[in-house]
Structure 1
Amino acid sequence: MTTRRGDDTMERELENLTENINDIKTLINKFNEKLDNIEKRLTRLEKVDSIEHRVAVNQIDLSDIKESLQRIEETKSSEIQNINRRLDSHLVKIAKAEEEIIMIKSK
């Protein structure tokens, strides 16, 4: 039999979890907007050195975001795991872009 106090605690925990999930969704939306802006800027750049610098800076930003999400990952929800997979995917894309830049420079 649950008590009113137990119900209040569960309700607070559920509210906190919901707030955390909403915060994560907001963060991902902002992250996607930033990625779109980054992609637009990269397509307009002509100098390989400039592209390489921006990719390195953005990769650091992505790593920071991923680390922050991992700290929030107390709930082990599938949404957070999906976010981590997407971040890993973006980091791989940036690493591939860096490799292409290095190959272009070596020509």
Structure 2
Amino acid sequence: MENEFEKLSENVNDIKSLIKTFNNTLDHIEKRLARLEKVDSIEHRVAVNQIDLSDIKESLERIESKQGSDIHHLNRRLDTHLVKIAKVEEEILMLKSK
């Protein structure tokens, strides 16, 4: 009888251990999902920004055909700065998530 109680006690401890491991796994999964949600948000903003940037770029290209190389130079600089802004935004979001 005493042996059965010991086995039962061991089984209860094993179950507790499994539940604890399961909870840790769930916590890990939740953290990964939260990061994925942030990535989705970043991707959405990038997509929206790309649309906005495309509109701006098309407008500048139309003006450029009329006004020449000064606008072309501004267009290239705008592209460069917008890429830098996007990289900084992404780095800020990554730092906030840490």
Normalization by structure 1: what TM-score? 0.49
Q: Give CA deviations for 1:13-62 in whole Å, capped at 9, x if unaligned.
A: 11111211221221221122122122123203422122321232134135
Kindly provide the amino acid, as one letter, of the partner of residue 27 in structure 2.
D
Q: Which has the higher helix share?
A: 2
Kindly provide the amino acid, as one letter, of the partner of residue 33 in structure 1.
D
The answer on 1:9 being equivalent to 2:28 is: yes
In 2, the alpha carbon distance for the partners of 1:66 and 1:3 equals: 38
Number of matched residues? 73
Name the larger-Rg structure. Answer: 2
In 2, the alpha carbon distance for the partners of 1:30 and 1:11 equals: 28
> Residue 55 of structure 1 corresponds to which residue in structure 2?
75
Q: Give CA deviations for 1:43-82 in whole Å, capped at 9, x if unaligned.
A: 03422122321232134135436756997xxxxxxxxxxx
> Residue 62 of structure 2 corresponds to which residue in structure 1?
43
In 1, the alpha carbon distance for the partners of 2:82 and 2:73 equals: 14
Normalization by structure 2: what TM-score? 0.53
Kindly provide the amino acid, as one letter, of the partner of residue 49 in structure 1.
S
> Residue 7 of structure 2 corresponds to which residue in structure 1?
none
Unaligned runs of at least 5 residues, structure 1 = 72-107
1:71-90 superposed matches below 5 A: none
In 2, the alpha carbon distance for the partners of 1:57 and 1:68 equals: 17
